[in-house]
Amino acid sequence: MLKKALILILFLVLGVFFISVPNAKAQEIEENVPWKTHIEVSYVSTSGNTETESLSGKLEVKKEVQKNRYLVRSNVLYARNNNEDTANKGALEGRWERTITKRLFGFLTSKYSRDKFSGYKYRVSAGPGMGYDIIKTDKHFLKGLVSVLYNHDRYSEGFKKSDDYSAGNAGINYVWQILENLKFKENADYLVSFDDTEKYFINSETALEVKINKYLSLGLSYIVAYQNYLPKVGAEHVDTTFMTSLIIDF
């Protein structure tokens, strides 16, 4: 039932993109809307009895106009302990959203991710989807998304080198403006293969941001990544990351 519903969404989204051609006035307004950039950086280095080094960074660039919304984001995490790599992962995502009503929208998305120690050398995903702005107020914003993705997984070890499959992806984006200078964020998504429902992934990122001035903030974030299928012997189902970051918005 879920697979049929997601396939129906695919055709609905494609129809929206073909019939929704922006007029000249909308294009002019779109050109005058600036891009917004969000950067998070965290670096730690210790020496002496323990040699450690870690670097994490996030970049998000977006533009929202009357009909079209564009989003590009990436993240990287690298860590070494006593001259040995202990973490080496990153991701890149691009999404184009096309509004249908004030709250309903269709989108096309593509994603690339890698994680040296999870058993997955990299994963590439792409496909269409539908979303809905469930809550839109001054203090709360909640967006739900569902999509059908084609996936190519490349394994770092194991009897299989790669795997190609279609999957369903559901996610939420939530923002709570607690105070004028304090913001709570939650992003979560669930990806499951149509070919093998035992192959699924759950990701969650919970964050707090404290505004210092117009451009700078301090951030705390807790990230959980769960993979049910383990292609590598010795890999763990769950990865957790806690980060403190300097945030730049402009």
pLDDT in tens, 68-87: 999 999 999 988 888 788 88
Q: Which two tokens stand for residue 201?
A: 């992934």
pLDDT confidence of residue 79: 87
Q: Which amino acid is at 133?
A: D
Give the start-to-end residue ranges of the domains of the chain: 2-249
pLDDT confidence of residue 161: 84
pLDDT confidence of residue 32: 74
0.75 cut: is pTM over it? yes
Compute the distance between CA of residue 40 and CA of residue 54 in angstroms, rounded to an integer: 14
pLDDT confidence of residue 26: 52
* CA distances for 4 relative to 18, 130, 168, 197, 214, angstroms: 22, 14, 11, 15, 47
Whether the Cβ atoms of residue 212 and residue 183 lie closer than 8 Å to each other: no
Which residues, including other chains, have CB under 8 Å from residue 211's CB and lie 6 or more apart? 180, 181, 182, 183, 217
Residues of the chain below pLDDT 70: 1-31, 46-50, 158-159
From the DSSP assignment, how many helices (H) and strands (E) are in the chain? 2, 12
* CA distances for 203 relative to 103, 211, 223, 228, angstroms: 25, 26, 8, 12
pLDDT confidence of residue 116: 79
The CATH number for 2-249, chosen from 1.20.1050.10, 3.40.50.360, 3.20.20.70, 2.40.160.40, is 2.40.160.40
pLDDT confidence of residue 19: 47
Report the Cα–Cα distance between both ends of the chain, in Å, rounded: 44
